[in-house]
Amino acid sequence: MKRVGFVLKVKQDRIEEYKEHHRRVWPEMLDALRAAGWHNYSLFLREDGLLFGYFETPESLAAAQAKMATTEVNGGWQTLMAPYFESPNNARPDQMLIELEEVFHLE
């Protein structure tokens, strides 16, 4: 199982709305994530908007993203989430994930 960590930046003036959406993630989106191999998925948000995400997947971040890209629900969720992120080129959030290198893991 591949452990994936990534960062994004939520606009500071949109943090509360962003958190509210994640208290009510669409059931279809949750199902799609599971079916695409996203396991043990967590998001952590710092007060300045720095978002750290973590999940485990059988292959890689790229493979997990590719599987999600084939789902209809993902397109709708990414469109909904796009205004919440700092993006220099108006990319969808799922296209802006900056993968972090794992440097230590304690089993």
- Catalytic residue positions, numbered: 22
Which has the closest alpha carbon to 38: 83, 86, 73?
73
Query: CB-based contacts of 28: which residues, under 8 Å, 6+ apart?
Result: 73
How long is the chain?
107
- Inter-axis angle of helices 27-35 and 72-81, to 10 degrees? 120
Burial 34-54 (b: 16+ CB within 10 A, else e): eebbbeeeeeebeeebebebe
